[in-house]
C-alpha cells in the first residue's frame, strides 16, 4: 500500500508541476506579447522542454562529476535550466531571445508552488526523505560505507570506513573482523519515511533521541508497550516468549554482553527492560555497533532510560529509493 501511495503522489506531483508550467508559460507568452499562442502549441512546447530536461538529467547522472568543481557544476546547471526552455520557445514561437526569456520567467512559479506543497503538506504529514551517517542499521540501511567479500561465507559485507573493526554480511547478518580493507567509500542510502503509518514490531522507525530530542535516530522497533524485553542467546524474549524475526532479517543475532559493559545493559537477563504503556524498545541491526536502547543512560522526562516514548516516534521507513542498486521496500 505504501508503494502505491508513493507512486501515486510522485505521478500526481509530476503532472501538477507540468500543468502549472504550461499554464505559466501561457501567461508568460501573453505577457511577452508573442503572437500565435494556442493551447496546442503551449502543450507541445511544454512536452518538448520536459523531455529535453529529463534527457539532460539522465546524462548528468551517467557522467563522472566528482572531478568537476562544485561551482562550475552549479553554473552549468543554471545555464542549462534557463537556456534550454528559452531556446525551445525561440524556435517554436519565432521569438527573440529576450521575449523568450520574458515568457519563460513566469514558469519559475511552478516549481516554487510545488516546493511549497512538498514542505508545507507532504513533508509534515505524509513522507520525508532521509539518510543516515552511521552503519548501526547495516546491512539493512547503510551510511557511508566500504564493501568487500566475507572470507568465511563469500557474501558481500559492509563496514564503516576508517572506524569499524567489524564487518557484517548482507544476506545472513554474519559478523566478522575486517581483514582486507578497501579505500573506496560508497555513499549512504537515501530512504523514505511515512508519517501516517502506525508502527509495528520489526518496523524500521525514525524517532527523536530521548537524551537529545533535536537528534533523529533510525532503529528497528522490537519491544511494544507493556512488554518486558530480554535479550538472551542472540534472541529477543518478550514477556517470556521468544520473538521470531521476519524472513528479511533471518539470521540476525542481538548482543546483550560486551567486554566494555557487563552489568548495565538494558534488556540483558540481569537488567530486563520493562516498558510502560506508551514506550517502545529499539535495536540496531548491526548489533555490535549500534548505540540503541541497550545503552541509553537518560530517558525522556517521565520515561525509562531505555525507552522511546510514543510521542517521540517520527515515522516508519518504507523504501530505499537511492541508489537504484539498493532499491527496496520495507512496508
Residue 64 reports pLDDT greater than 80: no
Task: Report the distance separating Cα 190 and Cα 204, nearest Å.
Answer: 14
Q: Which of 305, 320, 282 is nearest to 202 (CA)?
A: 282
- Of residues 184 and 30, the one with the higher pLDDT is 30
CB 155 within 8 A of CB 172: yes
CB 256 within 8 A of CB 231: yes
Domain(s) of CATH 2.10.109.10: residues in the chain: 199-329
What is the Cβ-side half-sphere exposure of residue 112, based on CA atoms within 13 angstroms?
6
On average, the pLDDT of the chain sits at 90
CB 227 within 8 A of CB 238: yes
Q: What percent of the chain has pLDDT over 70?
A: 94
Query: For residue range 242-263, what is the model confidence (pLDDT) as tens digits?
Result: 999 999 998 899 987 765 554 5
pLDDT of residue 44: 93
pLDDT of residue 58: 76
pLDDT of residue 99: 95
What are the phi and psi torsion angles at 218 (to 5°)? -125, 120
What is the Cβ-side half-sphere exposure of residue 164, based on CA atoms within 13 angstroms?
31
Q: Which of 21, 20, 38, 19 is nearest to 30 (CA)?
A: 38
Give the other-Cβ count within 10 Å of 280's Cβ: 27
Residue 183 reports pLDDT greater than 80: no
Query: For residue range 278-312, what is the model confidence (pLDDT) as tens digits?
Result: 999 999 999 988 999 999 989 999 999 999 999 99
Helices and strands (DSSP H and E) totals, the chain: 6, 16
pLDDT of residue 148: 87
pLDDT of residue 152: 78
> Span 199-329: which CATH code?
2.10.109.10
Whole-structure pTM value = 0.81
**Apex 279 CA angle, 294 and 313, nearest 5:** 95
Q: Which residue carries 533523529 as its cell?
A: 216
Mean pLDDT for 62-67 is: 61
* DSSP code of residue 271: B
pLDDT of residue 315: 96
Residue 133 reports pLDDT greater than 80: yes
pLDDT of residue 225: 97
What are the phi and psi torsion angles at 172 (to 5°)? -130, 10
Query: For residue range 139-176, what is the model confidence (pLDDT) as tens digits?
Result: 999 999 999 888 778 889 999 887 767 899 998 898 88
Query: For residue range 212-248, what is the model confidence (pLDDT) as tens digits?
Result: 999 999 999 999 999 999 999 899 999 999 999 999 9
CB 221 within 8 A of CB 205: yes
Amino acid at each position: 500500500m505504501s508503494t502505491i501511495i508513493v507512486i501515486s503522489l510522485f505521478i500526481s506531483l509530476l503532472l501538477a508541476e507540468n500543468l502549472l508550467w504550461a499554464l505559466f508559460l501561457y501567461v508568460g507568452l501573453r505577457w511577452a506579447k508573442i503572437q500565435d499562442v494556442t493551447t496546442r502549441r503551449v502543450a507541445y512546447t511544454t512536452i518538448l522542454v520536459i523531455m529535453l530536461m529529463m534527457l539532460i538529467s539522465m546524462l548528468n547522472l551517467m557522467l563522472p562529476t566528482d572531478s568537476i568543481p562544485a561551482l562550475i557544476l552549479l553554473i552549468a546547471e543554471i545555464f542549462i535550466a534557463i537556456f534550454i526552455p528559452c531556446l525551445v520557445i525561440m524556435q517554436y514561437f519565432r521569438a527573440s531571445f529576450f521575449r523568450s526569456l520574458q515568457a519563460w520567467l513566469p514558469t519559475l512559479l511552478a516549481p516554487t508552488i510545488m516546493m511549497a506543497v512538498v514542505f508545507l503538506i507532504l513533508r509534515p504529514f505524509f513522507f520525508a526523505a532521509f539518510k543516515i551517517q552511521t552503519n548501526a542499521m547495516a546491512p539493512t540501511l547503510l551510511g557511508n560505507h566500504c564493501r568487500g567479500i566475507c572470507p568465511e561465507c563469500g557474501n558481500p559485507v559492509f563496514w564503516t570506513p576508517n572506524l569499524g573493526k567489524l564487518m557484517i554480511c548482507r544476506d545472513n547478518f554474519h559478523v566478522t573482523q575486517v581483514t582486507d580493507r578497501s579505500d573506496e567509500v560508497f555513499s549512504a542510502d537515501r530512504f523514505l519515511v511515512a508519517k501516517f503509518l502506525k508502527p509495528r514490531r520489526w518496523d524500521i522507525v525514525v524517532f527523536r533521541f530521548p537524551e537529545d530530542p533535536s537528534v533523529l535516530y533510525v532503529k528497528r522497533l522490537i519491544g511494544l508497550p507493556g512488554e518486558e524485553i530480554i535479550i538472551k542467546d542472540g534472541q529477543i524474549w518478550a514477556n517470556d516468549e521468544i520473538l521470531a524475526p521476519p524472513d528479511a532479517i533471518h539470521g540476525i543475532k542481538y548482543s546483550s554482553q560486551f567486554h566494555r559493559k557487563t552489568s548495565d545493559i538494558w534488556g540483558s537477563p540481569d537488567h530486563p527492560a520493562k516498558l510502560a504503556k506508551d514506550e517502545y524498545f529499539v535495536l540496531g541491526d548491526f548489533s555490535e555497533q549500534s548505540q540503541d536502547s541497550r545503552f541509553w543512560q537518560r530517558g525522556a522526562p517521565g520515561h525509562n532510560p531505555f525507552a522511546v516514548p510514543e510521542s517521540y516516534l517520527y515515522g516508519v521507513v518504507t523504501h530505499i529509493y537511492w541508489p537504484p542498486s539498493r532499491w527496496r521496500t520495507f512496508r
